[in-house]
Amino acid sequence: MERVVGAMLLTMSLPVVVVAAIALVALSRRSPLVAHQRVGHGGRPIWVLKLRTMWTGSSDNGRFSFVEYVRASDADCRAPKRAMDPRVTNRFAAYCRRLSIDELPQLWHVVQGDMALVGPRPLTRYELNTYYGPATVQVLRKRPGLSGLWQISGRSRLSYAQRRRLDLFMIRKWSLRLYWKILIATVPRVLTGKDAW
């Protein structure tokens, strides 16, 4: 059922994704999509798609590809998200991030069954080892999700310790009621862009 809903949402959001992708290609002169390697369900690596919202200068190799695959270094993972991130150099890109338009391509992962609509966000191995520690085993028992408890409880302003606590609470108290509560609360959070950057 979740994959069917994911397909419906992906179809409905496709015009927005296409328009945003064309705009981002024109602005960045680079691929519209970036795939970041994350740890998925059961510890399996997955490439998580996002619309490109960070770039500097011109394309490095002069060759255009639809998707750029990026393995985040430990240094990248150590840098906390900031409201005025210097890596986000364009106002349209910042707008896409604030309203989570950049994450709409992840509905494709829901259709494929690699992600859920609700679950812990997919993290890098470094983030799991550093901030989740032994709790990583519990987190990886659930499919990673587009939204979760910490996404509706503060999003970008939360620390990793707070995110970990909320992820574990969600997993341990998992129920259909909690699932729907998170899913419904996600809509106004996304539409207002509150606590997102």
Q: Mind listing the pLDDT tens digit for each residue in 144-157? A: 999 999 999 999 99
What is the structure's pLDDT at 72?
Answer: 72
Residue 50 is inside which H or E element, if any?
strand 45-51
Establish if 124 belongs to a structural domain: yes
The pair of structure tokens assigned to 61 is 């190799």
pLDDT at 77: 57
CA angle 139, 43, 134 (to 5 degrees): 45
Predicted confidence at residue 21, as pLDDT, reads: 98
Q: Quote the pLDDT of residue 57.
A: 67
Q: Is the pLDDT of residue 109 over 80?
A: yes
Predicted local confidence at residue 60, as pLDDT: 53
59 pLDDT higher than 70: no
Q: Where are the alpha helices (DSSP H) in 55-175?
A: 74-78, 91-98, 107-112, 125-127, 136-139, 160-172
Q: Is the dihedral of CA 109, 49, 121, 44 positive or negative?
A: positive
Both tokens assigned to 86: 């210097």
- The dihedral built from the CA positions of residue 75, 81, 86 and 91, taken in this order, carries a sign that is positive
DSSP assigned state of 121: P
- Domain of 89 in residue numbering reads as 2-192
Tell whether the model's pLDDT for residue 78 goes beyond 80. no
What number of CA atoms fall less than 13 Å from residue 54's CA on the CB side?
Answer: 14
Residues 48-77, mean pLDDT to the nearest whole number: 78
116: number of Cβ within 10 Å: 21
C-beta of residue 131 within 8 angstroms of C-beta of residue 137: no
Is there a domain that residue 197 lies in? Answer: no
Helical spans, DSSP H, in 29-123: 74-78, 91-98, 107-112
Q: Is residue 179 part of a domain?
A: yes
Within a domain: residue 115?
yes
pLDDT of residue 171: 97
78 within domain boundaries: yes
Instruction: Report percent pLDDT > 90 for the chain.
Output: 82
Q: Looking at residues 37-59, what average pLDDT do you find?
A: 91
pLDDT digits (tens, 9 = 90+) for 116-138: 999 999 999 999 999 999 999 99
Whether 25 and 113 have beta carbons less than 8 Å apart is answered as no
Name every residue whose Cβ is closer than 8 Å to that of residue 28 and which is 6 or more positions away in sequence: 52, 55, 90, 93
For residues 67 and 71, which has the higher predicted lDDT (pLDDT)? 67
Q: In this structure, how many other beta carbons lie within 10 angstroms of the beta carbon of residue 104?
A: 24
Position 197 scores a pLDDT of: 79
Number of domains in the chain: 1
